[in-house]
Amino acid sequence: MKTTTLFRLGVVALAALAFAAGTRAEEKKDLTQPEINYQAGGSPLGAEPMYQSTNPKAPAMTLAEFELARKTYFERCAGCHGVLRKGATGKPLTPDITLGKGTDYLKVFIAYGSAAGMPNWLTSGEMDEKTVDVMARYIQQDPPTPPEFGMEQMKTTWKVIVPPDQRPKKKMNSYNIDNIFSTTLRDTGEVALIDGDTKQIINIVKTGYAVHISRLSASGRYLFVIGRDAKINMIDLWMEKPDNVAEIRVGLEARSVDTSKYKGYEDRYAIAGSYWPPQYVIMKGDTLEPLKIVATRGMTVDKQEFHPEPRVASIVSSHYKPEFVVNVKETGKTLLVDYSNIEALKTTEIGTARFLHDGGMDSTGRYFMVAANQSNKIAAVDLKEGKLEKLIDVGKIPHPGRGANFVHPKFGPVWSTGHLGDDSISLIGTDPKGHKQYAFKKVAELKGQGGGALFIKSHPKSTHLYSDTPLNPDPKISQSVAVYDIRDLDKGFTVLPIAEWADLKDDGAKRVVQPEYNKAGDEVWFSVWSAKNKQSAIVVVDDKTLKLKTVIKDPRLITPTGHFNVYNTQHDIY
């Protein structure tokens, strides 16, 4: 990349200083490309209006420069360094630190990265020289604060499209609802409802941007989806043509939603957690009317210091008690929120590990297995006793999705996770009664295709374990999946060329993501995810033979990513 003479001289003068500072970093690590791809994910907050700092000690910036830098920061940097730049998985970038470094020093770090994990934004081609200069000045300004989002703001976005008393009293369509798939169309702000029996699209439903997950009500009638822009859509699967019946925006950025599952409370409540503001909200389960908002700001589990923006990473609903399991990323706390009386809300706070992300139940539903990704741990939480069972060391940056449960020939029931930062798959024993000596220990480690794994999946009726690697920089790896025979794991994996089977006629990325079984457990669906202006597809594989079964192509399937089978999601089967 062409650089000016002045900038090149600055690099030469400061490179040694930058390298020395990098080697003194508290946490040295080699940042892999899959980690960069994952951590640099964009944030919807870049579009929100914010106040420009006028700190007299900071270098001058025009309004246009400030807006460019703010947008870039939320697109590239907020995932690591936090909305308020107080630090998350990355270091703090507040003026008390950055002003003393100076613009030239900061430009070197932004351009060339560091041994402590800073990506090389200039030399990788992700930023040009002008943007590097603007960002170096921007991080010396006081961080702009996004607006809060409370009850008043939520209620202005809340819409009941079809009131409960006007909805069908019985199922009005002939679809096998249990075998419907909800597939995220990431860049169009939609989900595709696909008939798992006929492989035909039932409806394309308008939603928030980049839907993160789909979850089912306890009854299986209502489908809830949440976008990264914190918009929730409630879809009635009983309608002649399933579609939205209610919606609400619960914040400015979010990832998680679920509903009450405990006996006697089925479909009564819904809950959603936000990245910004850091909070969760409990809503009516039939209309999404917001009832109670609870902030998650507080002290971290390790250093016992205040964190101003602990994001709600994931939420599941307990089958053992009327409780929501709320996982707070930056503080490292798992909250068991008792919804039996939301006017006098009781919460059990369990210290697990920092940087909680996603996870799922063990095969019995008693233990919730949640990844603390930057801590390289899995926390096993006992939902019956309401306590931390064990912290288990695993590979680099675990990312299980909901994980995968199966019975190992030696270790009995295990739950498993893949990793973003290495090629391992960790197996954790989950049977304290029948296999006590292996319970909540990493009992085995499989070798996968490479880092960049996002989802792993099995099924009680299957003898296979699938792992994707969509964030791996090698197209051969990102466009295929690894399959293991759980009866003979020592023989390694078989590679399925999913993107090749899709037979797409353009040069899109064709990343293969999120294996998902149908209800019967005899076929597995994969998204072949290309750019918005490229063709994508869904590939269906016969689980018994590992052969191609069918390819679903439709011009409406734009950037398909995650997909969720209604029955398996409703009953926590994975």
Catalytically annotated residues: 77, 80-81, 118, 357, 399
Residue position matching structure tokens 């205040």: 306
Burial class (CB in 10 A: 0-12, 13-18, 19+), 67: middle
Compute the radius of gyration of the chain from its Cα atoms: 23
Are 165 and 520 contacting, i.e. CB atoms less than 8 angstroms apart?
no
Residue position matching structure tokens 């025979």: 485
CA distance 255 to 320: 24
Phi, psi of 134 (to 5 degrees): -65, -40
Are 563 and 514 contacting, i.e. CB atoms less than 8 angstroms apart?
yes
Task: Give the tokens for residue 2.
Answer: 């062409």
CA distance 473 to 37: 9
Preceding amide of 322 cis, omega within 30: no
Phi, psi of 17 (to 5 degrees): -65, -45
Identify the CA nearest to 462 among candidates 511, 499, 515, 417. Answer: 515
CA distance 152 to 465: 46
Q: Which residues contact 364 (CB under 8 A, 6 or more apart)?
A: 413, 430
- Collapsing DSSP to helix, strand or coil, 445 comes out as strand
Q: Which residues pair with 466 in a beta bridge?
A: 457, 483
CA-to-CA dists, residue 14 to 6, 11, 141, 252, 346, angstroms: 12, 5, 22, 39, 54
Angle at 527 between CA 524 and CA 532, to 5 degrees: 170
Q: Which residues contact 237 (CB under 8 A, 6 or more apart)?
A: 175, 177, 180, 220, 221, 222, 223, 566
